[in-house]
Chains A and B, each alone.
Chain A
Amino acid sequence: MADTPRKPLRSPSKKPKQTSSSSISLTPQTPQAVDPPRRSSRRLSLKLDQITTPQKPISQLEKPNKDSLVEELETPHKLVKDSSRTRRNSRKNESTKNPESKTDYESANTPKSRTKVVEVEVSFSPASPDQLETKKRKRREDKDRKVITRAMASKMQRVNRRAIRRGFIIRKWCMMVVNLKWFSFEVLEAASEGSPRRGLDLRVLQARKLGMEVELPTPAKGKRRARTLREKLLSSDLWAAHIESTWKEMDGSYWFKGRWYMIPEETTAGRQPHNLRRELYRTNDFADIEMESIIRHCFVLNPKEYAKATEIDNEEEDGEDADSDEDWISSKDAESGTDEDIEYENENVKNLCARTSSAHGLAANSRKGQFFGLQKIGTKRIPEHVRCHKKTELEKAKATLLLAILPKSLPCRNKEMEEITAFIKGAICDDQCLGRCLYVHGVPGTGKTMSVLAVMRNLRYEVDAGSIQPYCFVEVNGLKLASPENIYRVIYEALSGNRVSWKKALHLLNERFSNGKKVARGDDRPCILLIDELDLLVTRNQSVLYNILDWPTKPHSKLIVIGIANTMDLPEKLLPRISSRMGIQRLCFGPYNYQQLQEIISSRLKGIDAFEKQAIEFASRKVAAISGDARRALEICRRAAEIADYCLKKSSSNLDATPAGKGLVGMSEVEAAIQEMFQAPHIQVMKNCSKLSKIFLTAMVYELYKTGMSDTTFEKLAITVSCLCTSNGEAFPGWDTLLKVGCMLGESRIILCEPGARHRLQKLQLNFPSDDVAFALKGNKDLPWLAKYL
């Protein structure tokens, strides 16, 4: 499946007629699978072009200087018209699935040039109802066409019209791009608008010396959020290239030599955290491409220019519900409610089973490069064949009990989730939303963060459906900040896309929230700030918390803060001026009781016959009695399944004939898992330690009984040991040996002791109850006399 895109590229040189049909019948491919082949397809396309245009060197014209014809770019109203046309066209293209329209489609293309059967024009209709379908098809066709585009919002055109040559869009981090030169572009030629098949009116732009791409009118805004070309570019649906030279073929078609740009996801290293959302890399990969495949002009700027350009960018971006550079907060991205996220997920799921060959691709490249921090860097993909074996019930159970798996339903927290939903909705719908702050507390593993995120996910659907107004959502984890002050930076970065120092960020945020100065477009949307592990933000003078909690009280700030922490009385421990701002609305997540834990586990295990019912109940009762931590309960069950699996596999590998009948996890496995998890291993270690250590421990206990003092010194203990030894016929090992024994016990923390250099002054203390020592050593066969002293 992964190499499908190549086929249409390779074949045209041989059998042009059939290619397009074959390409159309191809199954859509996934974003994941596309990435690695895509680079190669470019190279292929290069080869192909050389084949199909053998006369190129002869006919190459130095056009640019001659073509000084300047054509106005279309005006906005025309733009709308165009887009409606393109939409119509996209419908047509959609229908190319059936053979009839396919031929239609081909014949439309043929007059233009015979060699270019593959050149299917694509209309980027955003508003088509089933986006998933069109997008995939588009992607495929993109391949066929070798299109280069710079996805850009409509503002670009306007800017262009105004002859402002300050392009933007892509912010370059890497040096490759810094030396970009800028030239003016003129519109050379409008595509033949008469032909309805052409669909897109192509503006082929030519640069005088070095040029840049071309653009398609941005679609009108549909009801649902449409993807802009820029977004398509950034998700590898379109590509950008730098026009190096142009020429005219014998048959009258225009060609250019393009130098590809790459998004960070396409590099071998994948997207790195330092890559910005719209960053591009210039490659040394060249290709000859026909002009018509150009969609529109885009601007690649170096970082300085980009920073200057952002204001315009934001002003002009009004048409769309843009996600300004917020990608580095992956959670934010996941929450920001773009359709394509969901689509990608769907596709991923669909193609997970179908994917075959891209075994060694870097996983970092595969999911749009969406990751943050440690999550994806350097990971390697597990070859499919390893995972292909049929899963047993136990393995299925293990997989579904993983903490990382997000369950389909979140049982037992409905009330809390309703409360959070009500809180957020109330805050969003309220115009002022003054002083909205919610403090969520509960012990670890009670579903606090998960519930809030689930609520946000549900709200996103409501935003998509249009029932509530859009908002922006920022999630910060206190434990992941290098210092509490860095939270300003993270918030500002999430809101505006710029990285500044925390002081500057604080200043800017203050301006935005306190003074109501709206810097960027979209600032008027309410902002929901989720702060996980809030207690980590408490500084000496508590200014960070104060600042953050003070913003919501300002009129027009439209800031809603949700703080999550473990301690119930965190607001009370803070300064009164902070607790009065935070402590008003609280939500408590109590520890789960055993029925709830049981429900959580069983809901995950639904349909998998791997656990005995009592086993689940036993595990949940045990955890509920200790902590009520759902993570712990799931881990115990997973561990129990693992133990059962281990036993099963070992026994079947040893004796092949063993019946694999009893595949159920029972009480004994759960018991073993609980033992491993909750019981400190000290008793076992004491049972198995060396003879002198046992005598040493016995002497500790004896000393404890004798004096009633919990701590003793090494001198006293050594005397006791020598007494014990002489009265029981053991050889006293000597003080220095004994000191070593004590230090070794101290290393394992069976006893607590001072450094050995203190020698006879060294203080010693048992780290476990003396009963444990007595229990461990009483039945000892080698040293039966120990029992006397315990």
Chain B
Amino acid sequence: MGFQSQVEKAKNLLRTRLCNPNFIIKPLSDSPDSNYCKLKFTISSSITEACNNSILLVGPRGSGKIAVLELALNDLLQEYPDTISLIRLNGLLHSDENCAFKEIAKQLCLEHHLLFSKMGKQRLLYSLLDAMNTVTSQAVVIGVSCRLDVDQLLEKRIRSRFSHRKLLFLPPSKEDVQRLLEHVFSLPTDSSFPHDYAAQFNGKLQNLLADDRFKEIISSYLDLNSTINHLVRFLFIVVSLWESKSGFLSLENFKSALSSIQRQPKQECIKDCSILELYILVCMKRLEVKEQNSYNFNSVMKEYRSVHDSFQTSDYYAWDVCLRSFERLIQRELICFTDNRAHGQSVEFRPVKLLVSYVELQGGLKSYRSCPIILQKLMDH
């Protein structure tokens, strides 16, 4: 087996791992304080002791709620193969009550255990929870949401019937992240890879993990959002940037991944604008500075003309050309209409607003390749 193919194989393995939420969640789920253990205990004791429960899984997006739930459910389905049936509803897909009831009926042929993504409508929940309050039925309702105030959204009658088990999903600690990285990147030392390659790879990985610069990259990335999903997305880019030539993961991969993921779309958008579009943006900014709060294309054109008259710029374009670039700016959401009411009205009369801050605009002008100096001057006063 050639070196290249080993590297390819290692790459594939890492990608497979990163795409498998169960694999990612596993190392964080073994302590008894983990949500996984608590959730599994609650569901399995509801099954064995024949009681009904309703559980809420709450946590920011990407914190692994569904992954933990799936892991627990998979285990339980193996443990009690004939007793659990599963119904999955999604608040986005089954936003309508009737639709949700139909879906339940459809899935019931096979299944019985309820799982909601996003709390649905209240009548549905009432029926479910009220049915659970009778001895004859047995169910566990699991609600998943990223809203912390989700239980406040429930109607009072439903809240009263809800059993209020709540599991909070928090981002992993620094130590957990370190463990996770090691778990994801280290190659297995069994026969699947040549022993010396795996040992070498793991050795380099250990060095990398201990490197302070590496830690800084990871923490600066996690400063934005420290959830597990967010981290995994980053790691996937790292693996994609890993070139087969080098054979081992390097710090460079992480650096370039960081710079490719931390981007400022608005500023880049300004870089792509034409000179005329920049003029329009600057004119709008000037209007706002003059505390003219409501303006439309015509007033922007007036400002543009007055700027041209006072500074005699070389870039003066006809009215319809300006209108076209004005429309392009709207499409790129650098400016927007202040209201959505007047749909019939033509573009030039509708009031607009700038959707980019002065600081960003200034920064954009500075980094613009061939920005006319007059524009920067106009920005300042």
Contact = CB atoms under 8 A, between A and B. Distances in A.
Contacts of B138: 379, 382
Contacts of B136: 367, 370-371, 375-376
B110 to A, nearest CB: 8
Contact of A761 (B105, B164, B225, B353): B353
Contacts of A381: 83
Nearest to A536: B123
Contact of A750 (B104, B128, B148): B148
B165 A676 contact: yes
B148 A692 contact: no
A685 B147 CA distance: 11
A375 B52 CA distance: 12
Contacts, number: 214
A760 B112 contact: no
B137 A690 contact: no
B207 interface: no
Contact of B83 (A380, A566, A718, A748): A380
Interface stretch (A159-167, A502-510, A638-646, A702-710): A638-646
B132 interface: yes
B1 interface: no
B49 A737 contact: no
Contact of A374 (B50, B127, B168): B127
Interface in B61-94: 61, 80, 82-85
A81 interface: no
Given A404-B135, A642-B42, A735 B264 contact: yes
Interface stretch (A141-149, A177-185, A627-635): A627-635
A50 B42 CA distance: 54
A159 B128 CA distance: 46
B108 A688 contact: no
Contacts of B133: 403-404
A333 to B, nearest CB: 12
A681 B148 CA distance: 7
Contacts of B134: 375, 404
A677 interface: yes
Given A759-B266, A760-B356, A761-B355, A382 B149 contact: no
A688 B98 CA distance: 39
B127 A479 contact: yes
Given A374-B127, A749-B148, A386 B47 contact: yes
Contacts of A690: 171, 222-226
B157 interface: yes
B146 interface: yes
B368 interface: no
Nearest to A367: B136
A405 interface: yes
A692 B166 contact: no
Contacts of B52: 402-404
A758 B161 CA distance: 39
A676 B223 contact: no
B327 to A, nearest CB: 18
Contacts of B131: 373-375
B3 interface: no
B156 A386 contact: no
A444 B160 contact: yes
Given A382-B48, A684-B170, A736-B266, A360 B82 contact: yes
A688 B83 contact: no
Contacts of B110: 378
A629 B37 CA distance: 30
Nearest to A391: B49
Residue of A380, A533, A692, A758 with most chain B CB atoms under a 10 A cut-off: A380
Interface residues of A, number: 83
Interface string A444-474: 1100000000000000000000000000000
Interface in A734-758: 734-737, 740-741, 744, 747-750, 757-758
B17 interface: no
Given A629-B160, A760-B357, A379 B112 contact: yes
A313 to B, nearest CB: 30
B127 A382 contact: no
Contact of B156 (A566, A718, A747): A566
Interface in A364-400: 367, 370-371, 373-383, 386-387, 389, 391, 395, 398-399
A444 B80 contact: no
B128 A374 contact: yes
Contacts of A639: 163-165
A95 interface: no
B2 interface: no
A650 interface: yes
B60 interface: yes
A525 interface: no
A14 B353 CA distance: 96
Given A690-B226, A747-B147, A767-B149, A735 B157 contact: no
B126 interface: yes
B286 to A, nearest CB: 16
Nearest to B136: A375
A722 B362 CA distance: 15
Interface string B193-222: 000000000000000000000000000001
A632 B224 CA distance: 39
Contact of A654 (B32, B112, B225): B32
A677 B55 CA distance: 11
A386 B83 contact: yes
B226 A689 contact: yes
The 6 closest A-B pairs by CB, nearest first: A444-B160, A378-B108, A375-B137, A691-B223, A690-B226, A688-B170
Interface of B: 32, 37-38, 41-42, 45, 47-52, 58-61, 80, 82-85, 98, 104-105, 108-112, 123, 126-128, 130-138, 146-149, 152, 156-157, 159-161, 163-166, 168, 170-171, 222-226, 262-267, 333, 336, 353-357, 359-360
Given A374-B127, A690-B225, 4 more contacts: A380-B112, A642-B45, A747-B60, A748-B61
9 contacts: A374-B137, A402-B51, A631-B160, A639-B165, A682-B148, A689-B60, A691-B222, A736-B266, A767-B149
